[in-house]
Amino acid sequence: MQKMRCFIAIDLPSQTLSQLAQKISRYKKQLPPVVRWVKPENIHLTLKFLGEITPKEVTSIEQQLKPIGIKHSPFDLTFSGNGVFPNWNRPRILWVGLNHSDVLLTLIIEIEAELRLLGISTDKRPFSPHITIGRFKEFNKREEIEIIKQYFYDKEIIDGTMMVTEICLYQSSLYPTGPEYTCLQRIRLNPP
């Protein structure tokens, strides 16, 4: 049986994506070419990476996620800062941060609990809400990384809030031109 590479995520509002697209376009022109920037249409907030799963598992996951949507109302998330993983000495991922949210943390805990019922393991690392906007290329020169660091360190890439109204189960298809994401199921958060 053919498997599918999947993850659960929150889409960003079109206005936020538009702001990020403008910033990324400017970064591409102004900064050294040491970062592969994420295509704006692929930017999202990952809640859980599922890896390779079967179509039958996809159906089971969809069923487990529906009650979570019914229990939760839409909520806001606030953008806050940026950074890199794992650190500026060996940067791999450039991200935009989000403030701590008890509602989001509760949502993550419930998703993990429902997926454990299906035999899907819990993430070992604590959840760190972030939106990946770029991935560093291999073997960058230190001075190029320092330019990127000076440009981003302790600065806001984007500010404000975003409203979360649904979560999505995505399939990720990998191509030479980059990944393409297809939403398999949208789980709307139940309005109050």
**Residue ranges per domain, the chain?**
4-188
Q: Is 130 a catalytic residue?
A: yes
Residues 6+ apart with CB under 8 A from 185: 62, 65, 168, 169
Q: Is 100 a catalytic residue?
A: no
Architecture of domain 4-188: Alpha-Beta Complex (3.90)
Kindly name the residue from 130, 136, 162, 189 that is annotated as catalytic.
130
How is residue 40 annotated by DSSP?
G
Q: Is 190 helix (H, G, I), strand (E, B) or coil?
A: coil
123 confidence band (pLDDT: 50, 70, 90): confident
180 confidence band (pLDDT: 50, 70, 90): very high
CB 44 within 8 A of CB 182: no
| pTM metric for this prediction | 0.92
pLDDT at 192 over 80: no
Kindly name the residue from 12, 19, 38, 44 that is annotated as catalytic.
44
Residues 6+ apart with CB under 8 A from 25: none
| Chain center to CA of 110 | 18
Which one, of 41, 55, 17, 18, lies nearest residue 182 by Cα?
Answer: 41
